[in-house]
Structures are given as structure tokens and as C-alpha cells.
Amino acid sequence: MMRKLQGVGILVAGLVLAACGGGGDQAASDAGAKFAAAPMAVVDKAQCEGPAATGHLEGGQCIARFPGLTPPQAAARHENAQKQGARKSSAPKLAAQQPLTTPDKTALFNWASSSSGYPGIFYGSYFDDAIYMPGFGTFNYRYYSSGNYLAVLGSGVYAYGWATGYTIYYVGTLSDFSCYVYSCGGGGGGSGGSLAVGGSVNGAFYTSGAYVDHTVYLYAGTTYTFTMMANTLYDPYLELYNPYGNFVTYDDDSAGNLNARITTTAAYTGYYILRASSYTTGDTGSYTLYATSGTSGGGGGGGGSGGYISWTNSNNGVTVLDANNESFAFEANSRCLYSYNTQSTTTNFCLYSGAAYGSFAGQYVQVMLVASTTGGCIAALADAYGYQIDIYTNNGVQTVTTTNSKYNTTGCTY
């Protein structure tokens, strides 16, 4: 049933919800009336102009995008590939993107409440309805008992409820969600687990040219480092998209051994997308994605607050390798060793204050810059004479061993 309501616009919806952000079931007439009375997130039309537009023109007005839900545009991955001249020219290019399947409103609504959608926002029982809003047209919406709405007007997707501050925001087009609701693009794309800063998430894809998107919530002005480490994957490749679906940056090999790392300062607060894939055609497998915050240039003693020490002039940023190419980092506050493999920190090895060395099991161990086999310099663990250090972990117990191999430090200084 479609209802026609007048007086749309500036009235603030009097939607009473539970304190924890949820809502209850309500009559369809009440849900429609509250949606129709809700304010639109109207912004200056300049925000709807140009290639970097963050708004959407609808009914002659510029409606702001909601940064909490917007996915990166489905075609952006291959468009950006044409701009990335720094990628390895010797490797084969990804296959051209295949035609996309655009979801209809029902497919989108069902996906949004699934485990691969936004189950923390759109959940509970629901009903579908439609409402005519003068100046805009007919919104087909789904009201979820969580207290949030997802609506479609033409090809545009909109959201409303406690998640948007009780204001109707534009989210994107139906086709923007193609790679989420269905597979698409050179082998298929899809949603992976969300990533918390300071934590990690595992992912995998097993079709050539495929990718997996992970969401991560960032705060404007904060610097973050994202590291994609191969497990069974050969050549990790990582891209970052901002809350408005715009491409930010990418990386291929900065973490060493073909692993990827992105360090960036967030320009907006909201949910970003980390798109994990492989640079090499035919490469599939598993990986682990890490997120840290507060890194800064640290020189020999390191720096950073609330994250990990970043080593100046190192291609690897915060990562420090041992003789077996196992990846570690040092917490900026405690200065203690963190293992990416075990995802744990040991207090048995902490760098001295303001120094790049410490004592591990009675042995002097330092962080030094050494020449990388792929060019440039990386941070590595060594003894007092520059010999490679190997850290071995067995049943949670770490031991340290000095090898007979000495690092090449030519051209590498802090």
C-alpha cells in the first residue's frame, strides 16, 4: 500500500527509541508518517558538483551522502588501475571488469540485514511500504524493528533512523551495491569481516581477479597504518576508499616480501573500505589484514602514540622483520615486541626508552635499517654486531637465536 503524505521537509521526527539505539515494531502508518516528516540532509549545491562530489542531486536539492554506509563504486577498482603507474609493469594486468548485475530494492533490503551487509544497523522484524514525498517522488522503504529504514527512490538508496541521527541521507545508487549483493568484476567481489583499529581480520578469495572488502571506522585527523600479510596468497594488493566511496590510495609491496601496507591520515570520520586483492592474475589464497593507529616518524628511537613505532626511512613503516622474515612491531607506549603471527605482545622484550635496542633473554637485540632485496631499506632485528636475529615461538614461548648471516646496511641509516 502506498500512502500520499503532505508537508514533507523540515519537521524533526519524534521517533521514540530505546536508549541502546534500537527501536520497536510500529504500525506501518506510523513508520510512513515518521519517514515523511523527517528532515533531508540538504547541503550546499557546490557539494554536488565536480568529480569529487560528496552529495547527490535529488528534486533540485543537494542531499548529503551518509558516510557510514556508502560503498566504493563498483567500477572504481579498474578505473583506478589505469592511474597507478607505480604498480609493477612486469606483472599481468587484471582482467577487464565484467558487466555488473544491479540489485533491485528487495535484494538490497535483504542483503543489508544479512551477515555480509550491515546487521548492526538493519536487524529484527521488518515490513516494506512506499510513501510519496512532494518534490522528490515515491520512496520504497523497508522499516526494520531496529529503528532504521533503508529506502529506494528511482535508482538512489537512502537511509534514516538512529544510525543517521534521524535525518534522511543519500547512500549511493543501487548499482554501487552490485559487488556486495552479487559477484562482479574480474572474478567477483564481496564483503569480508569488519576490522577494528588495533586488531586484525582474516580473509581469503579463491577466484582469479576477485577481491574482498573490509570496513573500518576511522576518525578525521588520525593517522592509520593498514598491513595486508599473505598467508597462502602470493602477492597482496590493498586499496583504501573513503566514507563517500572515493578512492584514496593503494599499495602493492611496501610491507616487504610482496606484502602491502598503507599509511594514511583520515580526512573524514566514518566507515572506510579496505579492498584486499592480489596484483598478480591467477593468484588466490588467504591473508591477514592489520590496522594500527597513532604512528609517526620515529627515527632510531621511534615514535607514535597509541599505536606502533614507525621507523624513519624504512619501506616497512612499523614492521620489523627477523631472520626468518617473520613480522613484528613495537608498541609505541610500552615499547614491547608485538608479533603479527601470534597477535600478542611480549613484555620479555621491550626497547629501552629513547633507544632502538633492548635485552631479550639476556641478549642484546637492536632494530637496525638494512638493505632490502627489493630495493630501499627495511627495519630488521640484529645483534650488537649486525648479525641476523631469529625469534622462534613455540606454544607461546619465544626464544631468540643469532644466525651466522650478517645484514647488508649499505645506504641505510635512520
pLDDT tens-digit readout, 143-162: 999 899 999 998 889 999 98
| Portion of the chain with pLDDT greater than 90, in percent | 11
Query: Where is 80: in which H helix or E strand?
Result: helix 76-81
Domain boundaries along the sequence of the chain: 2-73+98-176, 192-293, 320-406
Ramachandran angles phi, psi of 365, nearest 5° = -130, 135
The residue with greater pLDDT, 62 or 87, is 62
- Please, what sign has the CA dihedral across residues 147, 65, 261, 259? positive
Pick the CATH number of 192-293 from 3.30.565.10, 2.40.50.100, 2.60.120.380, 3.40.50.970: 2.60.120.380
Query: What integer pLDDT is reported at residue 188 of this predicted model?
Result: 47
pLDDT for residue 187 is more than 70: no
Whether 13 has a pLDDT exceeding 70, the answer reads no
Going by pLDDT thresholds of 50, 70 and 90, the confidence category of residue 191 is low
Whole-number pLDDT of residue 346 = 82
252 neighbors 201 (Cβ within 8 angstroms): no
Query: Which residue(s) pair with 57 in the sheet?
Result: 62
Residue 57's pLDDT is what? 86
Q: Do residues 413 and 369 lie in contact, with contact meaning Cβ atoms separated by under 8 Å?
A: yes
**Position 65 pLDDT exceeds 50:** yes
| pLDDT above 80 for 238 | yes
Residue 66 has pLDDT above 70, yes or no: yes
Residue 230, sorted as left (phi over 0), alpha (psi -120 to 50) or beta, turns out to be beta
pLDDT at 88 over 60: no
Cell numbers at 12, concatenated: 524533526
Whether pLDDT at 181 is above 80: no
Mean pLDDT of the chain: 75
Edge to edge, what strands does the sheet with 270-278 contain? 189-191, 211-218, 270-278, 236-241, 247-251
pLDDT above 60: residue 24: no
Question: d(Cα 28, Cα 113) in Å, to the nearest integer?
Answer: 19
- Helices (runs of H) and strands (runs of E) counted in the chain: 4, 27
Question: Residue 129 has what pLDDT?
Answer: 92
pLDDT the model gives residue 152: 94
Q: How do residues 98-124 score in pLDDT, each as one tens digit?
A: 345 678 899 999 988 887 677 778 888
C-alpha triplet 169, 171, 175: angle, nearest 5° = 150
Torsion over CA: 325, 327, 331, 337 (sign): negative
Indicate if the pLDDT at residue 62 is higher than 70: yes
Contact 218/265 with Cβ under 8 angstroms?
A: no
Query: pLDDT digits over 268-315, tens only?
Result: 877 788 989 888 878 888 888 888 875 433 333 333 334 788 888 888
pLDDT at 23 over 60: no
Strand-pair category, 377-382 with 320-321: parallel
When mean pLDDT is compared across 175-184, 335-344, 345-354, the lowest value belongs to 175-184
Give the per-residue pLDDT at 155: 86
Q: Where residue 26 falls among pLDDT bands split at 50, 70, 90?
A: low
